[in-house]
Structure 1
Amino acid sequence: MHAESPSSPAEPSERQADRHPVAPVPARLFTDDGQEARWRARFSAVRMSRPNWARDAPERNVYVSNASGTSEIHVWDRATDEFRQVTERRSGTHAADLPPDGDTVWWFADTDGDEFGHWVSEPFDGGAAPVPAVPGVGDGYPAGLDIGRRFVAVGTSTDDGTTIQLHDRTSDEPARVVYRHGEDAGVGALSEDETLLAIHHSEHGDSRHPSLRVLATADGSVVGELSDGPGKGLAPLAFSPVSGDQRLLVCHERRGREELLVWDPVSDTETELAIDLPGELVADFYPDGSALLVAHVHAARTRLFRYDLTTGALDELPAAPGCVGSAEVRPDGSVEYTASSAASPSTIRTLGPDGVDRVLVAPPGERPPGSEPVRDVHADGPGGPVHALVTAPAGTGPGAPAVFVLHGGPHAADEDRFDPGRATWVEAGFVVVEVNYRGSTGYGSAWRDAIEGRPGLTELADVAAVQDALIADGTVAADRCVVNGWSWGGYLALLAVGTQPSRWAAAVAGVPVADYVAAFSDEMEQLRAFDKALFGGSPDELPDLYREASPLTYVDKVTVPVLVLAGENDPRCPIRQIDNYLDALAARGDLHYEVSRFDAGHGSLVVSDQLNLVATEVDFARRALGAG
């Protein structure tokens, strides 16, 4: 148990949380039927993730789709071209995997989006109810999974830390513990011959910069260790797919950005790969282990390359125009990937060994309508140039309302990808500004880590620099700027209207951190570990720093309307700390605020919920600006 903040208000059941003013859901956003149909179609059109296949049965695939109106797990048998929906749960399902033989499909069973649960399996073809997939593994938050032909490695996180277990799939014996620690850790990968298991861990106390360990699956003994010291993390990506080849592909940041190396933990030899590309890199092996499929992230776009491990030759793949999403190499050497841009919805494509690129599979029904392209903006910020993406409605002139949509994470980035939420704001006449503030990924380790010791206020200084630049060039009007975001972006939105009240006309905060001390107490253990690494300690150790970073501290400074959207079962930004903030707003008695509560976790997988939440956001912003 974690101690509650001494100043925390009473529990929600004691203070009638439903007394807060509820934000209305407009019946429609637009009087024009064409606009109304377009924005709804961008959400309700059937979407699907790139199908992942079983290693030894590549005709068997699993993917996530909203075809039923809720994001659920589906399977596709390419041999028969048959599709089947696997799960049907009130709050949806988003995590699934296939064992090498493809005989079963595994999915993570939580409760109403709370992310706490266990893996279950059921036949690929259906006909039987799901059963627990790994005997002897208790409920917890997922901390990695790798299903081998013989062994399965599964990680579980609870308030007690992380446990990693190995189960012999040929035995009825329960899974055995091979790793347990109070600090954050997770499953990395099993070697092709399944004699080795790579994990990442933060026994040194910094989950944001993990170290690597390779264990022998036979007895859990340590085979190899790799650590780059303070402030330099390592991530295990994949073992070579060739049996007996124990090379592990690793992502490192020894030169201030994410790059690649190959490490053999048995011989303890490593080779850094000299790939001369700006930006950051992530990769996976080609099926024969001779080359890597490299995803290159730079300037809010991702491209694909083939890197020959023998010659060092680097060749860009002729993928379709746009920003590449996920990608993987099939056994026949073809590359399957997703591609989209701000203007063009995502397609699932295949690039054959002969260089021919085509659409692999299209979801049923009509494609969602497109939107407007982004333009790149670079502003001088206190920590260096700040990159932002700006999307404007066609024909927009001076004085158009603007919404600064701040991404979550914080270790993530806005990219030139299709987003129905962005498109809705544009459809509603808003200039959309997305800022890759310090803390964002894709701009080097120093940029990502610059928020350490002062999170929140550091990012907002970069947002202010972009805002000033766009006001100066006439892109946005100083008095018509709304700050908006979800998760970490929602946190920044609340912090912004408390610490920068003169800059904003309204705030829209989805599933935010609102009271950082209470959030730390209630959030899932992985996030407590993250926060301790980000701040340099816990709220008990650094009370002043947490107070400075908490939106609750600045409630009395807020002068504009505020909308908060909150998930009742959210383990990342829990509901109690949001209620604390809402109670503080209510106690003022002089500020307009509204709340929209939904029965899910950290966002909703239900299309109707998504429509209602976006409509609520846009309607609130319009009313706050006097435009609706």
Structure 2
Amino acid sequence: MTESNGAAAPDQREEYGSSGQEGQARHDGPVGPDGQREEVPDWEKRFRAPRVSLPDWAEDAPDRSLFVSNATGTYELYAWDRATGEQRQVTDRPNGTTDGVLSPDGAWIWWFDDKDGDEFGVWRRQPFAGGPDELAVPGLDASYPAGLALARDGRTAVVGRSTDEDGTTIHLARAGEAPVEIYRHRESAGVGGLSYDGSLIAIEHTEHGDAMHSALRVLRPDGTAVAELDDTKGGAVELGLEVLGFAPVEGDTRLLIGHQRRGRWEPLVWDVATGTETDLALDLPGDVSAEWYPDGSGLLIVHGFEARSELFRYDLAAGALERIDTPPGTVSGATARPDGSVEYLWSSAAEPSAVRSTTGRVVLDPPGMRSPGSVPVEDVWVEGPGGRIHALVQRPAGASGPLPTVFDIHGGPTWHDSDSFAAGPAAWVDHGYAVVRVNYRGSTGYGRAWTDALKHRVGLIELEDIAAVREWAVSSGLADPERLVLTGGSWGGYLTLLGLGTQPEAWALGIAVVPVADYVTAYHDEMEALKAMDRTLLGGTPEEVPERFEASSPLTYVDQVKAPVYISAGVNDPRCPIRQIENYVKRLQARDAVHEVYRYDAGHGSLVVDERIKQVRLELEFAERHLGRTAAARG
């Protein structure tokens, strides 16, 4: 339902840079009746073009890296030996693999093995140079992952697990020994990090019952507590903390954390041995995250503000902040290398993503088909009921309104749309639509109060902001009010169905991808960590606050839906389970409402490129059937 860390969903968002390891022939069009190959349209090329993630590298063997690529047409893990240039595919599963970790010594690749995208599985490992997979932690049953930290000794791992029966458990596992439980609680928690020498384990927990704001605890390997930090108590509002990593220096007990004490995310250095907190107080207006430079002398700062991001180096001794030059757009990942250079994954709405370096080179750029670009994004600010709303707008080059317009609503809900490359919105633009993306209340990147506004009136608050931006889009002459499409995936799919029922006159069409449709049933069927999030958002369980679940459930308003509805869903989805979607569809069927449903054999989205293209094609065709062809599509 809500999204959390774990397996990536590159079919939903463009999170990977330009890359490739296959010939051009793969991307040729299908053979037509005359035996000639048909031209592949640009929108499809954007999905097919090979991409890679930001490479992770082994701390004690920095020439050994791990990345994700769609080179075979399915997102899988790849090992890369930088010294020799050799790359090899590590995993090969029908539904893809994206969750992998490289051990600090570079000897092993750990990867999470679930069944058909259901996110419930076990960790396996494989030698970096290749060889058979083996069960990484014998003695631990299948579960949802709740973090993983690998020690430098090559023998020790800290494994977080989540199940409906046990809540969250954290285990210390040493090679040749049975895993030992060192933490257990019914509320959600996760492994945050492991100190350089393996003597300290940082965890994030929500024992206080607020899944949106974590507290921190540092444990010894035997499970005894060393230090606690909790910003959720004693103030007028609850504040969250996050683990950013222990100092990468032997004997160093400093832990880099993120806090919200000034109304936004900022880094702070906490010495867990002495209790000393070093507040960096960076003079930057937006959210700030950080990671250590490999020698521990400085921090790599990622600053996100108003849907764009930039990089800095912060010298801890001098207290000096130095900007690292990056192009305007979005840095969706960055890492400092041992030589002091920085590698980062960058893109903009107009330019496809690539893994770049401050040395001036593109880090990973093997031959293959290049992704076509798209049009730049325009910033729009609209006054809403809860304050100024930031929206990002793309329109076909040279087009004037009013245009058929797609409101593409992001998931999360604690996420935000940014000036970054995305194949989905670009496909709509290619077909003559304007695309509007709204960073509604609940979105990250605009301060703690904006994100935390999403409570109790869940869904309805976001739709108030979307309605305000819709009014702007129509009154400004951008959008044709008779051809407005509401769409989104995950939480965005939920808002789509809720919006079609609560704002039935506002939308001409709805396309909901892996949505929440029946909130009560979704709660009972979803993974335990998301139940905790829903209890936080709505203030209790469906039994404790039934009126809130009813008010926020699309099923409550299904009989008011007037627009044609298209729904796509993964039958193995643990976040937005299939049963609650079927309940909604049955209600549509009962009154002969215009709708179509597409079910596919995967989880919360698909990692198979052909499947993702099929889904987008079905969405475009559904819109054409009900709204007519646009001038761009005809031409």
Where does residue 73 of structure 1 map in the other structure?
77
Which residue, 176, 189, 192 being the options, matches 2:193?
189
Q: By how many angstroms is 1:168 displaced? A: 2.4
DSSP 3-state at the match of 1:517? helix
Letter in 1 for 2:198: E
Is 1:345–1:370's contact at 8 Å kept on the other side of the alignment? yes
Q: Take 1:399 and 1:34, find their aligned partners in 2: how far apart are those partners?
A: 32
Q: By how many angstroms is 1:321 displaced? A: 4.0
Q: 1:39-79: per-residue Cα shift (whole Å, max 9, x none)?
A: 11100111111111111111111111111110011111111
Q: Take 2:588 and 2:473, find their aligned partners in 1: how far apart are those partners?
A: 31
Q: By how many angstroms is 1:103 displaced? A: 1.5
Instruction: Say yes or no: does 1:106 pair with 2:110.
Output: yes
1:17-56 aligned at under 5 Å gives the runs 36-56=40-60
1:115-514 aligned at under 5 Å gives the runs 115-127=119-131, 129-150=132-153, 151-159=156-164, 160-169=166-175, 172-217=176-221, 219-230=222-233, 231-352=238-359, 357-514=360-517
Where does residue 10 of structure 1 map in the other structure?
none
Q: Take 2:594 and 2:583, find their aligned partners in 1: how far apart are those partners?
A: 17
Is 1:35–1:427's contact at 8 Å kept on the other side of the alignment? no
Q: Take 1:119 and 1:265, find their aligned partners in 2: how far apart are those partners?
A: 30
Is 1:162–1:186's contact at 8 Å kept on the other side of the alignment? yes
Instruction: Say yes or no: does 1:578 pair with 2:569.
Output: no
Paired-residue identity, %: 55
Report the aligned-residue RMSD.
1.4
Q: By how many angstroms is 1:115 displaced? A: 0.3
Q: By how many angstroms is 1:363 displaced? A: 3.9
Is 1:304–1:316's contact at 8 Å kept on the other side of the alignment? yes
Moved over 3 A (4+): 33-36
Q: By how many angstroms is 1:136 displaced? A: 2.4
Q: By how many angstroms is 1:137 displaced? A: 2.0
1:495-534 aligned at under 5 Å gives the runs 495-534=498-537
Q: Take 2:453 and 2:495, find their aligned partners in 1: how far apart are those partners?
A: 16
Is 1:211–1:228's contact at 8 Å kept on the other side of the alignment? yes
Q: Take 2:72 and 2:46, find their aligned partners in 1: how far apart are those partners?
A: 15
Q: Take 1:387 and 1:320, find their aligned partners in 2: how far apart are those partners?
A: 21
Is 1:46–1:364's contact at 8 Å kept on the other side of the alignment? no
DSSP 3-state at the match of 1:585? helix
Q: By how many angstroms is 1:617 displaced? A: 1.0
Is 2:294–2:336's contact at 8 Å kept on the other side of the alignment? yes
TM-score (norm 2): 0.91
Q: Take 1:71 and 1:361, find their aligned partners in 2: how far apart are those partners?
A: 16
Relative to structure 1, the CA distance from residue 35 to residue 459 in structure 2 (aligned partners, 3 Å threshold; closer, same or farther) is: farther
1:577-596 aligned at under 5 Å gives the runs 577-589=580-592, 591-596=593-598
Q: 1:476-506: per-residue Cα shift (whole Å, max 9, x none)?
A: 1112110000000000000000000111001
Q: Take 2:479 and 2:40, find their aligned partners in 1: how far apart are those partners?
A: 25
Is 2:202–2:243's contact at 8 Å kept on the other side of the alignment? yes
Q: By how many angstroms is 1:101 displaced? A: 1.5
Letter in 1 for 2:190: G
Letter in 2 for 1:211: A
Is 1:46–1:363's contact at 8 Å kept on the other side of the alignment? no
Q: Take 2:395 and 2:527, find their aligned partners in 1: how far apart are those partners?
A: 38
Is 1:47–1:363's contact at 8 Å kept on the other side of the alignment? no
DSSP 3-state at the match of 1:212? strand
Is 1:321–1:339's contact at 8 Å kept on the other side of the alignment? no
Where does residue 620 of structure 1 map in the other structure?
622
Q: Take 1:163 and 1:418, find their aligned partners in 2: how far apart are those partners?
A: 37
Is 2:152–2:196's contact at 8 Å kept on the other side of the alignment? no
Where does residue 11 of structure 2 map in the other structure?
none
Q: By how many angstroms is 1:310 displaced? A: 1.6
Q: By how many angstroms is 1:36 displaced? A: 4.4
Q: 1:182-233: per-residue Cα shift (whole Å, max 9, x none)?
A: 110000000111110000001111111010000012x211000000125211
Instruction: Name structure 2 gaps, 5 residues minimum.
Output: 1-29, 32-36, 631-635
Letter in 1 for 2:487: N
Letter in 2 for 1:110: D
Q: Take 1:134 and 1:413, find their aligned partners in 2: how far apart are those partners?
A: 36
Number of residue pairs the alignment of both structures matches: 589
Relative to structure 1, the CA distance from residue 294 to residue 34 in structure 2 (aligned partners, 3 Å threshold; closer, same or farther) is: farther
Q: Take 2:409 and 2:100, find their aligned partners in 1: how far apart are those partners?
A: 29
Q: Take 1:66 and 1:276, find their aligned partners in 2: how far apart are those partners?
A: 39
Q: By how many angstroms is 1:37 displaced? A: 2.4
Q: By how many angstroms is 1:366 displaced? A: 2.2
Letter in 1 for 2:448: S
Is 1:71–1:94's contact at 8 Å kept on the other side of the alignment? yes
1:76-91 aligned at under 5 Å gives the runs 76-91=80-95
Letter in 2 for 1:220: G
Q: Take 2:557 and 2:312, find their aligned partners in 1: how far apart are those partners?
A: 47
Where does residue 24 of structure 1 map in the other structure?
none
Q: Take 2:216 and 2:109, find their aligned partners in 1: how far apart are those partners?
A: 29
Q: By how many angstroms is 1:399 displaced? A: 2.4
Q: Which moved more, 1:203-212 or 1:509-518?
A: 203-212
Q: Take 1:487 and 1:195, find their aligned partners in 2: how far apart are those partners?
A: 39
Q: By how many angstroms is 1:598 displaced? A: 0.6
DSSP 3-state at the match of 2:482? coil
Q: Take 1:519 and 1:488, find their aligned partners in 2: how far apart are those partners?
A: 12
Letter in 2 for 1:307: Y
Instruction: Name structure 1 gaps, 5 residues minimum.
Output: 1-26
Letter in 1 for 2:197: D
Q: By how many angstroms is 1:34 displaced? A: 9.6
Letter in 1 for 2:321: L
Q: 1:492-527: per-residue Cα shift (whole Å, max 9, x none)?
A: 000000000111001000000000000000000110
Q: Take 1:137 and 1:267, find their aligned partners in 2: how far apart are those partners?
A: 35
